[in-house]
Amino acid sequence: MGCEYSKFASCCWTGQSGPIHEAQNPDEEKDEVSDLPAFHEFTFEQLRIATSAFAVENIVSEHGVKAPNVVYKGKLENQRPVAVKRFNRSAWPDSRQFLEEARAVGQLRNNRLANLLGCCCEGDERLLVADFIPNETLAKHLFHWDTQPMKWAMRLRVALYIAQALEYCTDKGRALYHDLNAYRILFDEDGDPRLSCFGLMKNSRDGKSYSTNLAFTPPEYLRTGRITPESVIFSFGTLLLDLLSGKHIPPSHALDLIKDRNLQMLTDSCLEGQFSTDDGTELVRIASRCLQYEPRERPNLKSLVAALYPLQKEAEVPSHVLMGISRDGETMSLSPLGEACLKTDLTAIHEILDTLGYKDDEGAATELSFQMWTDQMLETLNSKKKGDVAFKNKDFRAAIECYTKFIDVGTMVSPTVYAHRSLSYLMSDMPQEALNDAVQAQVISPVWHIASYLQAASLFTLGRENEAQVTLREAAILEEEKNTT
């Protein structure tokens, strides 16, 4: 968290007794969806066909101790992709209860859920059919990431969306969610987090179903063997710890760290500089309230949703951009320049700009009147020419100096000169100055795709990946429009 770390560490612990204030929720919509098919009871043969006879290559996950199960990817007759969860034969001995549970959960329809579409109950077979959510689990993106750690803004979005999902389920009479954890949260084609509907199914009538590590189990479950709606809040608190730390930290250990103000062990080092002291303090406070030993002292879901809303600082940035996920149907093939900017391959960018020259300028030099050809103007043009030679020869410090002389005179404007100086700044490890020049090039030529591409390259270099992804897409659109016209 950079220079704000010590301040955060010293002020984050505000005590266990303060309530979570219910900030005004600016968007009260429940995100119900109506375009999903009605809940359907499938035959075993239909699901066998859908999963290619439960082929090994279609296995998505295998887990469960008390209720062993395997989840398969499948495709229904109408080509709709689905996730089919097949339980162990002993998992649901009561077929009537299984059908009652499935039908009840199947009535839920919400954009924050991986919705239950149907079930199968034939003989000893117990299967559930849900939306197939394609972009892995929160555990994968948070604990086992390949290319980049999850950004702070996306972690806060996960917290809000899952709280909204749980609030919706509670409002619909399904307050118990079993074993809430990072493996129960999936990311859809838009990169939005969704809560798996499978955790809403309970295979006992007294709330005794719980299958997590005891170190992460609500205290009351250890005392009574039952979970309650307040137990779900405790599990949500452990989820907030996951999001904050990027690790699975036992709640008791996390609370000790908070009390001791030893947050370096608690906070993911990958988040350094991404959030303010106030936002970090608030998330820690919310988590600690959820992890209270006494269930009655934990907040309710309505207050959690309200408290998480003000923390959403990048709400306008799409989830797929924050996650670095390409959406189906929107994968845009990048030109060589676009690819070079995506990879911040500055040498490749230089070769392309050098080859392009001044083709995209509007002839600023040729528009000068005869009277303007003074000695000063000739000297200015000579500065530009020297800058071009230095740029071509990769003497970027000299290019910056020469182009600056040309720009400072101010008689002529050239977006290409700004583009060349922008790349020269990037080559000289001055990304903020490069970004400023790329922006200025676009001020001069608003639809010039190269200006946007250089902004993207500068933003990538500055570590502002989400903004860079948006700008890169805008540049690709501008380039495509230019090519089609």
Closest to 307 measured CA to CA, from 25, 9, 84:
25
CA–CA distance, 441 with 456 (Å, rounded to integer): 13
**Quick check: 42 and 118 in contact, CB under 8 A?**
yes
Query: Exposure pattern of 194-208 as b/e (b: 16+ CB <10 Å)?
Result: bbbbbbbbbbeeebe
b/e sequence 176-189, b meaning 16+ C-beta within 10 Å = bbbbbbbbbbbbbb
CATH of 40-131, one of 3.40.50.720, 3.90.550.10, 3.30.200.20, 3.40.309.10: 3.30.200.20
d(CA 323, CA 305): 22
Whole-angstrom distance, CA of residue 199 vs CA of residue 326: 28
d(CA 128, CA 64): 15
Phi and psi at residue 85, in whole multiples of 5°? -100, 120
**Sign, Cα dihedral of 480, 483, 484, 485:** positive
What pLDDT score does 316 carry? 86
Q: Which uninterrupted H or E stretch holds 130?
A: strand 125-131
Give pLDDT, residue 33. 66
| Residue among 330, 285, 319, 317 nearest 304 (CA) | 285
Domain map (residue ranges) of the chain: 40-131, 136-323, 336-358+374-484
What are the phi and psi torsion angles at 345 (to 5°)?
-85, 85
- Nearest-angstrom CA–CA distance, 412 and 384: 11
pLDDT of amino acid 399:
92
pLDDT of residue 212: 56
Predicted pLDDT at 57: 84
The model's pLDDT over 133-175, given as tens digits with 9 standing for 90+, comes to: 989 999 999 998 877 789 999 999 999 999 999 999 999 999 9
Q: Which residues contact 165 (CB under 8 A, 6 or more apart)?
A: 110, 112, 113, 194, 195
What pLDDT does 347 receive? 93
Separation between Cα atoms, residue 227 and residue 221, nearest integer Å: 6
The set of residues, in sequence order, having a beta carbon less than 8 Å from that of 119 and lying 6+ positions away, is: 39, 41, 42, 98, 99, 102, 103, 106, 126, 127, 128, 129
- φ, ψ at 151 (rounded to 5°): -75, 155
**Predicted confidence pLDDT, tens digits, the chain (485 residues):** 333 443 454 444 434 444 454 444 444 444 666 678 899 999 999 999 999 999 998 898 886 555 568 999 998 888 889 999 999 877 888 899 999 999 999 999 999 999 999 999 999 999 999 999 989 999 999 998 877 789 999 999 999 999 999 999 999 999 999 889 999 999 998 899 999 999 998 765 544 555 556 778 898 888 888 889 999 999 999 999 999 999 888 898 888 888 877 777 788 888 888 888 889 889 999 999 999 999 999 999 999 999 999 999 888 888 988 887 766 544 456 889 988 998 889 999 999 999 988 888 754 443 444 444 555 566 677 888 898 999 999 999 999 999 998 888 766 788 999 999 999 999 999 999 999 999 899 888 888 999 999 999 999 999 887 678 878 888 888 888 788 76
Q: Residue 34: its pLDDT value, please?
A: 60
CATH 1.25.40.10 fits 336-358+374-484, yes or no: yes
Which stretch of DSSP H or E encloses residue 128? Answer: strand 125-131
With vertex at residue 47, the alpha carbon angle to CA 44 and CA 51, rounded to the nearest 5 degrees, is 140
User: For residue 168, what are its two tokens?
Assistant: 């919706």
End-to-end Cα separation, the chain, in angstroms:
47
Q: Is 29 left (phi over 0), alpha (psi -120 to 50) or beta?
A: beta
| CA atoms lying within 13 Å on the CB side of residue 105 | 31
- CA dist 366 and 286 (Å) reads 64
Active site residues: 179
CATH label, 136-323, candidates 3.90.1010.10, 3.30.830.10, 1.20.120.530, 1.10.510.10: 1.10.510.10
pTM assigned to the model: 0.67
Which residues, at least 6 apart from 419, have a Cβ–Cβ distance to it below 8 Å?
Answer: 353, 437, 438, 441, 450, 451, 454
At residue 6, the pLDDT reads: 37
Judged on CB neighbours under 10 Å (0-12, 13-18, 19+), 429 is: exposed
Q: Under DSSP, is residue 182 helix (H, G, I), strand (E, B) or coil?
A: helix
